[in-house]
Structure 1
Amino acid sequence: MEGDACNNTEVWEWVYSMQPTYMAVICVLGMMGNAFVLCVLCLQRERHTVADIYLSNLAVADLVMVSCLPFWVVTVARRFHWSFGVPLCQVVGVGIGMNYYCSILLLTAVSVDRYLALVRPMSFVRLRNAASAKGVCLIIWVAGCLLSLPALLFRTVKFFPELGVEACYVHYPHEGWRVRYNMTVNVVGFLVPALVVSYCSYHIIATLKNNRMRKFSAVRTERKATHLVLVILIVFILCWLPYHIVMLLDTFDYYFAISDCLWTNALDISTQLATYLGYGNSSLNPFLYVIVGRHFRQKAKGMFKHILNRYEKGHALQTVNFTSTTRYNESSNL
């Protein structure tokens, strides 16, 4: 019975066949969707709001993530054989790790901004400006790079004879680094932001229920942006929560040294599935902008109208020039 439990060949065959297809889909959708979001937010003719700045940086982080996935599509399809060399192994690892940390920190920042906009609108009005938001984004990107350094320092490519592949993996100097990484991911990358977001969300929802706030058009605009942010936060947590549970189980595995092969195989496969479920979040955000973000849809319509007007003006100008040239040629022939 134990031998059957340890025989996970069929499960891994399913991973090899399904994961590349899944990653290829989220890669294509993520690239197209986040590029579209950036076009709408960056090409809008209105002044950029604080929420626009945070969400555009979130789209950049998601775009970095999905740009790294094609390497893993090929690698998983080849049964985790990495054929792109050590430098790309490290760069891709840094890009993916930086995406996660930047995403959760940006969502935390935007939830704090929504809290200040709705709950404390008069107390911190001077701090809610485009310059401050850009400064916060810069700090977040630097923090994301620093927190992703383990991927740069410890990722390498090694040949595993028992598997017959060269794998891109994290080789820690000792197992203590594994626990430190897991704890950093769980605490800095989830627990602390979750506490901040929960506090802000609780007070935001309580404020939104206040009917007196609906009288002001500026507040109604803030409400629309806040609804979008809350939905993005909920989807992010749903996508990444399984990954953090698996990281916590991996830490328990280190301390309790569970040697059961069924547990080890289940943990390995769960890590794969939870990781790529989290990656899928990067392709969902653009659809959330369109479905939930009424203000975003208005901006997208405005962008398309602007492009269409420029096209029509250019076409009309070409027609006028063609007509003028034709008349000139006809008069010259006379």
Structure 2
Amino acid sequence: MALPSTSILANFNTTAINGEQNNMNGSQCYSDEPHVWHISVLPVYILLVAVLGIVLNVFVLGVFCLHKKSCTVAEIYFSNIAAADLILMSCLPFWAVNAANQFNWPFSHHLCRLVNFSINMNAYSSIYFLVLISIDRRMALANPLSHIGISRPKYAKLGCVLVWALGLLLSVPTIVFREVKDFPEIQYNICYMAFRNLTERAVFDVMQFTFSFIIPFVIIFYCTIHILQALNNRIFEGLNTRKKERKATTLVLAVLLAFLICWMPFHVTKILLLLQEAEVLTGCSLEYALNICGHVFMYLAFFNSVLNPILYVIVGQQFRQKVRGLFKRWRSTRKSSVNISCTNSTR
């Protein structure tokens, strides 16, 4: 779970552009070292994250789609997260090629907008599916009676439609500002967010920080506190909590914790980068450190899309049962086909 500097990948481009421009202007802060690091290490890392994310999320979607039983409300949300993460991961190879090409965008102007729009939309969507999951778990434990009416699959599907629509709406600025621009002084075509001034960028960053982190974090934190309180109250009152419910809650908490670990460093770094560009924070050492951290934490955030399907397998008992059921069905089908072929051959 999906939003680097001024779009989901703005830092990635503006840092490279600013570094080249500083070099042209004789800035003493500019160094070739981070530039070489971007070209040699970053493309491999991006491609590795993309391949892992695609394989794992295809596996998760396959398990949910091929299993005979209909999905529960939580599984509907998890499958939508996997779909959003899969689309996001499918767009990252374009940025691996871009990084390997020294940030000289080798594709068309329309593909620049489409790729980044898809990344933003699915990152936002993935985050808000986590919000729906946390709300569902909170109501299941804290208000089980009221939860029965609103936990039906049709309401879950409606919630998913609204989340996709929200992700689409929040990604509109990417279509408006994202463009490919030729920088003749460095002989590069750069795909980046073409803000006209720092104010536009600050407004966009604040909006992005609010909707992609602050609002989801507040809701998730509130629900998590109530989830933990509900579990403690049940233990204190001597009520028997079903293992199935506990396992589901553990999975949700693990996924939410992974979201916070992956996304919080990126958003903190983005705020510091904005302050540095506004010259509130200065210094070559800070500029160099933020340059490196901006890239590292950006793709740590994207790694959340790889962690989610891993957590399903490690923590999700129901998911593992679905996987075992599919394997048993596949083995029985294979044995049946072998027996039929053997019978036919003996006739």
What's the TM-score, normalizing by structure 2? 0.86
1:189 has 2:178 as partner: no
| Aligned-partner Cα distance in 2 for 1:5–1:202 | 49
CA distance, structure 2, for counterparts of residue 320 and residue 151 of structure 1: 61
Q: Aligned in 2, Cα 1:117/1:23: closer, same or farther, shift over 3 Å?
A: same
Q: What SS is found at the alignment partner of 1:122?
A: helix
Deviation at 1:239, TM superposition (A): 0.8
Larger relative contact order (CA 8 Å, sep ≥ 6): 2
Aligned positions of 1:156-167 closer than 5 A: 156-167=179-190
* Conserved 8 A contact 1:179-1:254: no
Equivalent of residue 226 in structure 1, options 249, 262, 265 = 249
2:50 aligns with 27
Q: Which amino acid aligns with 1:203?
A: H
Do the aligned partners of residues 278 and 5 (structure 1) sit closer, same or farther apart at CA in structure 2, a change above 3 Å counting?
Answer: farther
Cα shift readout 1:303-334 (whole Å, capped 9, x = no counterpart)? 111122222222222333333xxx4xxxxxxx
Local SS of the residue matching 1:168: strand
TM-score, structure 1 as length reference = 0.90
Tell me the distance in 1 between the aligned counterparts of 2:193 and 2:312.
Answer: 35
Residue in 2 aligned with 1:284?
307
Q: What RMSD, in angstroms, separates the aligned Cα atoms of the two structures?
A: 2.0
Aligned partner of residue 70 in structure 2, secondary structure? coil
Alpha-carbon offset, residue 81 of structure 1 = 1.1
TM-superposition CA deviations, 1:172-208 (whole Å, max 9, x none): 2443321121111211111111111111101111222
1:125 maps to 148
Counterpart of 1:61 (choices 77, 84, 98) is 84
Equivalent residue for 1:138?
Answer: 161
Would you say how many aligned residue pairs link Structure 1 and Structure 2?
320
Structure 2 match to 1:321: 344
Q: 1:20–1:76: 8 Å Cα contact kept in structure 2?
A: yes
Aligned to 2:129: 106
Partner amino acid, structure 2, of 1:176 = T
Point out the more displaced range, 285-294 or 171-180. 171-180
| Partner AA of 1:107 in structure 2 | L
Letter in 2 for 1:215: N
Q: Shift of the alpha carbon at 1:15? A: 2.1
Of the two, which has the highest radius of gyration?
1
Distance in structure 2 (CA, Å) of the matches to 1:9 and 1:162: 17
Tell me what 1:80 maps to: 103
Contact 2:248 2:316 in 1 (8 A): yes
Greater Cα offset, 238-247 or 125-134: 238-247
- The reply on whether 1:310 has 2:340 as its aligned counterpart is no
Gaps of 5+ in 1: 328-334
Counterparts in 2 of 1:164 and 1:265: CA distance versus 1, 3 Å? farther
Q: Which residue of 2 aligns with 1:215?
A: 240
Q: Greater shift after overlay, 28-37 or 164-173?
A: 164-173
Equivalent residues of 1:5, 1:262 under 8 A apart: no
TM superposition shift of 1:47: 2.4
> Cα distance, 1:164 vs. partner?
2.5
Using the TM superposition, give the Cα deviation of residue 280 of structure 1 relative to its aligned residue in structure 2, in angstroms: 1.3
1:104 and 1:178 mapped to 2: Cα distance?
A: 22
Gap regions ≥5 residues in structure 2: 1-25
C-alpha distance in 2, partners of 1:264/1:147?
29
Check whether the contact 2:29–2:287 (CA below 8 A) recurs between aligned residues: no
Supply the AA of the counterpart residue of 1:71.
Answer: F
| Deviation for aligned residue 1:257 | 5.8
Partner AA of 1:115 in structure 2: R
AA matched with 1:50: V
Once residues 43 and 279 of structure 2 are traced to their aligned partners in structure 1, the CA distance between those partners, rounded to angstroms, is 33
CA distance in 1, matches of 2:34, 2:111: 28
Matching of residues 193-204 of structure 1 within 5 Å: 193-204=216-227
Measured in 2, the distance between the counterparts of 1:157 and 1:262 equals: 30
Partner of 2:7: none
Shift of 1:69: 0.7
Q: Deviations over 1:141-165 (max 9, x none)?
A: 0110111111111111112233322
Counterpart secondary structure, 2:180:
strand
